[in-house]
A and B are shown apart, each in its own frame.
Chain A
Amino acid sequence: GESVGLHLPTLSVQEGDNSIINCAYSNSASDYFIWYKQESGKGPQFIIDIRSNMDKRQGQRVTVLLNKTVKHLSLQIAATQPGDSAVYFCAEVTGANSKLTFGKGITLSVRP
């Protein structure tokens, strides 16, 4: 069946380094992708999105890359800070009703 998955369950990075969080998706009909961040004790929050007609999109300290050939999505965080420690979810949107399918989540841990 169709699925959205993350390559690794945890990622540990040194403060100040760049982080790369990867995500694989399998639904070729998905036309929109979103990254969410969930801090401990809170609900997920939108970080950045990208449409399938784009390869790259940049935000503040974050960049999302989309490789449709291999159905791969990544989130890059520049100069990772302690406040970036959280669980990160990729999600794909399919259909006119915008149904989201979430990946399982990856925990980013920032070492001081």
Chain B
Amino acid sequence: DVKVTQSSRYLVKRTGEKVFLECVQDMDHENMFWYRQDPGLGLRLIYFSYDVKMKEKGDIPEGYSVSREKKERFSLILESASTNQTSMYLCASSPWRAGTGELFFGEGSRLTVL
């Protein structure tokens, strides 16, 4: 069974704290993605990576950064958390197949910033 594991299901942080969201996949996929999900807005792409040490901005990268030091691990970093970053964060991976877009998602990390 393919698996994408997000290290924390629920986090509560204070404004200004640095937050790390970790994601690990065991499928040897080249591509990894971070989305945030908000009611009425659907899934919005924050950052993605097509290779180790490679990253590209998605649609809403402001306030976030990422790290891809190993193929299986993709971390999302909030340098200084703010209340508007309270959300559900979803990590996903996909195999390197041009023209296809099936993503395998983790179960999500619900972050609350107080």
A and B physically associate: yes
- Interface check A104, CB cutoff 8 A: yes
Which chain A residue has the least Cβ–Cβ distance from B106? A43
For chain B residues 25-77, which have a beta carbon within 8 Å of chain A? Answer: 31, 35, 40-45, 48, 50
- Interface check A100, CB cutoff 8 A: yes
* Contact A89 to B107, CB < 8 A, known contacts A43-B4, A97-B50: no
Contact with B along A74-112 (1 / 0, CB 8 A): 000000000000000101010011111111110000000
Number of chain B residues whose Cβ lies closer than 8 Å to a Cβ of chain A: 26
In the complex, are the beta carbons of B98 and A43 less than 8 A apart?
Answer: no
* Contact A44 to B43, CB < 8 A, known contacts A97-B50, A98-B94: yes
Residue of A31, A32, A49, A99 contacting most chain B CB atoms (<10 Å):
A99
- Interface check A41, CB cutoff 8 A: yes
In the complex, are the beta carbons of B45 and A99 less than 8 A apart?
Answer: yes
* Contact A89 to B43, CB < 8 A, known contacts A43-B4, A43-B92, A44-B90: yes
Query: 24 interchain pairs (CB within 8 A)?
Result: A9-B40, A32-B99, A32-B100, A32-B101, A34-B101, A43-B90, A43-B105, A43-B107, A43-B108, A44-B43, A46-B102, A46-B104, A89-B43, A93-B99, A96-B98, A96-B99, A97-B98, A98-B98, A98-B100, A98-B101, A102-B43, A104-B41, A105-B42, A105-B43
Q: A9-B40, A42-B107, A43-B106 are in contact. List 15 more A-B contacts (CB 8 A).
A: A32-B99, A32-B100, A41-B107, A41-B108, A42-B108, A46-B102, A46-B103, A93-B100, A98-B31, A98-B101, A100-B45, A100-B101, A104-B40, A104-B41, A105-B42
